[in-house]
Amino acid sequence: MDFSFAQLLISVELQQEVSDPYALFGIRSAFMAAFRKAVCSQDGNCVSCSSSSGCAYPATFFQTIASEPAAIKRHQKPALPFVFDFPIIQPPPNRGVTLELGLTLGGSAVNHLADYLAALQLLFAEGMGRQTDWAKVLKVEVLDYSGARTVIRASQQKLALDRLVILTADGLRESRTLSSSSISLQLVTPLRILQEGKPLRVFGASYFLRSLIRRLSSLAYYYGGGELELDYKWLARQSATIAGSLDQSHWQDWGATADGRLSGVTGEVKLTGDLTDFHPFLLLGEYFHAGKGASFGLGRYRLAEEE
């Protein structure tokens, strides 16, 4: 399994007092509008636009569904090729506080890095639909496998794409060691795994692993250049043999935004069983999250480091 991606860290300074600690988790609609405004000259009318084939806006938000029946069944609609890691904002007074936002771009989305940054700049300058000058972008850094940072843009300087670090799923696996029989997950933000259209209110190991495989294989198919060579049926059967300890996990509700509820399972869970074949998905899932709302901060988890 191989898939390339880039992990960015964007430092912003709050220009206003912000009372909602989860304000950043509700930017879906505003970010999409800012992205369209930053890159589109046709106000989102891609059908009549002669430049739509190379435009980041439809490539990001309106990826064409696969034509092959097997791919449609396996992947359904394309996942979004980016993921935000949002901080929880400390209570006021917080004007002038610096926040760090993570942004992971998968596969071909890396080619549109400058467009993502332009959209964020516009989003914060226009107040995220609330007020003007909500925040100011201070710098953009790229992270390597160890988390070491390299500045690729400081203040309003030109973007230094020659410093961009490209990570791969294979390289990620080579850089980390996981247990083959027991792995702990810290569910940092609410995890929403849907079953028959409703979120599961308790963690289920098999549901989690199958959801993760579907998400990551969809990203690889639509943005990574091709189908992963996986035995999906065998992986699904194998996931049923994995147990999940639920002692330290619970359903949590952070409230609601204009884009939906911020609720799901949080806390710590432990996966036990033969986990070797799930290592690539668990490692990559740290960057791309799991479940509904993953692209906008939900479903974020960390794998416990080996002793």
Helices (H), 104-231: 113-125, 169-175, 205-223
Lowest-pLDDT choice from 49-53, 202-206, 236-240, 250-254: 49-53
pLDDT digits (tens, 9 = 90+) for 189-226: 999 999 988 999 999 999 999 999 999 999 999 999 87
Q: Please, what sign has the CA dihedral across residues 279, 283, 296, 189?
A: positive
62/171: higher pLDDT: 171
Distance CA 4, CA 169 (A): 6
- Provide the pLDDT for residue 70: 63
34-59 tens-digit pLDDT:
999 999 877 767 766 766 677 899 89
- What are the boundaries of each domain within the chain? 4-169, 172-303
- The answer on pLDDT for 94 being more than 60 is yes
25-39, 62-76, 237-251: which range is least confident on average? Answer: 62-76
Q: Where are the alpha helices (DSSP H) in the chain?
A: 28-39, 56-61, 69-75, 113-125, 169-175, 205-223, 232-239, 279-288
CA-CA distance, 282 to 239, in Å (whole number)?
12
Residue 128 amino acid letter: M
- Confidence (pLDDT) at 69: 64
Question: What percent of the chain stands above pLDDT 70?
Answer: 92
Say what the pLDDT of residue 230 is.
84
Query: In the structure encoding, which two tokens stand for residue 103, read together?
Result: 């942004």
Q: What is the pLDDT of residue 246?
A: 77
**C-alpha to C-alpha distance for 170 and 45, rounded to whole angstroms:** 38
Range in 97-101, 151-155, 221-225, 251-255 the model is least confident about: 221-225
Residue 41: predicted pLDDT = 73
CA 127/CA 131 separation, integer angstroms: 4
Residue 307's pLDDT band, with cuts at 50, 70 and 90, is very low
Going by CATH, does the domain composed of 172-303 fall within 3.40.50.300? Answer: no
Q: What is the mean pLDDT of the chain?
A: 91
* DSSP3 helix / strand / coil % (the chain, rounded to 5): 35, 30, 35
| Of 196 and 117, more confident | 117
3-class DSSP state for residue 204? coil
More confident residue, 27 or 127: 27
* CA gyration radius, the chain: 19
